[in-house]
Amino acid sequence: MYHTQKLLNGITVVCEPIPFVRSVAFGIWVRNGSRGEPFALRGASHFIEHMLFKGTGKRSYADIAEEMDAIGGQVNAFTSKEYTCFYTVSLDNHFDTALDILADMFLNSSFPAEELAKEQRVVLEEIDMYEDTPEDLVFEIMQENVWRGSSLGHAILGDSGTVSSFDRDTLMRYFATNYRPENIVIAVAGNIKPDEATEKVAAYFAGYSASGIPSDAQPAPLYQHGRFGREKDIEQAHLLISYPGIELSSPRLYHMTLLNTILGSGMSSLLFQKVREELGLAYSVYTHYSSYVDTGLFSVYAGVSPENLDIAYEAIVSQLEGINADTLTAAQVAKAKEQLKSSLLLSLESSSSRMMRKGRSMLMLGRIHTSDEIIEKIDNVTHDDVLAMANDTLRTDKMSVATVGAVGTVN
């Protein structure tokens, strides 16, 4: 059972005791991501994530790494469209040290100018790496185009122009304004008592405050379908077919999750069996969905030889358009339910997975469903529910197509 407490400054602390493990996972979750950035500061949230590892008033970047290694712990972070997470995983007897290090990084980072200049070069290399990773690039191209005009379509990393323009004062001001206590959830999971964890977290964070006026809430993006391509001199053609999805708080979220599992998650999924096993057109083919606070995107990816691009596209679209009670059966829904429940229950053996689940849910939804509640929601989804989700989602008039490779768009 998890426990929550809101500190006087607005920070929410969530703790789940797991007495049968010897680890503690600790995460600082901030409801600030690339979606909230002004156009001129695209990539600022991701860049700030990097800068928090570059030193504080009492620790250099080398000290942070060496102190975590000395306790055999891990410290890491990631930035998404709508939130950022900084986290540690350590043995339970080293939690105090891990907490002190991560709290120092978050509360006291000095954003040293000389490290900022070096990190700009590092992030520019990261941007180039994504440009050279066509499977990632095709997703970026899709989002940039279907949500054009909205910050949701902006790349999390920003671009070379914005990253090169960042300076210390701008980044520190953005951090002070947008990383606000009311937008923060601190999640702890592992072999620690909730009262003890909350008391220790509060000792560091109860006095934290923000300054400045926060950015205005972003309007819901308008999905704009179309066909988009990027020619690159590479061996494969990377194909992405996308449709509007559903928002994170939708009561139909598990309808979508089950549809995703049946169509393209695993070796027995419909698209894997058709495109790879039966037709031999692709090594990698899968489905993916993203849900945000007010919208979502459902996608099918395949990497194929350029000469097979049109054939693969037709095979995938035919499979999607042919979804009905005969091609998507009750037995497949039942199997997908077991896959989801198994994945959920197996993840409970990891303190970091539990911390991630609790922190993200409390931050983005303001509530946490227990594993029993999630299993009940999964079990309550019917065959008709999944069919209805397929019919509502896989609409030809809403379909978008993106390609990357030595080809144009599909015919």
Q: Is the distance from CB of 297 to CB of 146 less than 8 angstroms?
A: yes
- The candidate with the shortest Cα–Cα distance to 154, out of 282, 37, 233, is 37
Integer Cα distance of 159 and 128 in angstroms: 10
Helix, strand counts (H, E) of the chain: 15, 11
Q: Is the distance from CB of 314 to CB of 382 less than 8 angstroms?
A: no
Q: What is the C-alpha end-to-end distance of the chain, expressed in Å? A: 54
Q: How many CB atoms lie within 10 A of CB 134?
A: 21
> Which pair of tokens denotes residue 191?
């072999």
Integer Cα distance of 335 and 273 in angstroms: 15
Whether 49 is catalytic: yes
Q: Is the distance from CB of 370 to CB of 4 less than 8 angstroms?
A: no
Q: How many CB atoms lie within 10 A of CB 113?
A: 10
- The candidate with the shortest Cα–Cα distance to 131, out of 99, 159, 171, is 159
b/e per residue 17-36 (b: at least 16 CB within 10 A): bbeebebbbbbbbbbbbbbb
Integer Cα distance of 124 and 132 in angstroms: 12
Of the candidates 16, 37, 49, 140, the residue annotated as catalytic is 49
- The candidate with the shortest Cα–Cα distance to 122, out of 87, 160, 148, 86, is 160
Give strand pairing partners of 65: none
Give strand pairing partners of 63: none
- The candidate with the shortest Cα–Cα distance to 317, out of 403, 405, 406, 400, is 400
Q: How far is CA 246 from CA 270, 388, 393, in A?
A: 22, 13, 9
> Which pair of tokens denotes residue 102?
């991560």
Q: How far is CA 9 from CA 52, 184, 202, 254, 308, in A?
A: 22, 10, 10, 34, 58
Residues acting as catalytic residues: 49
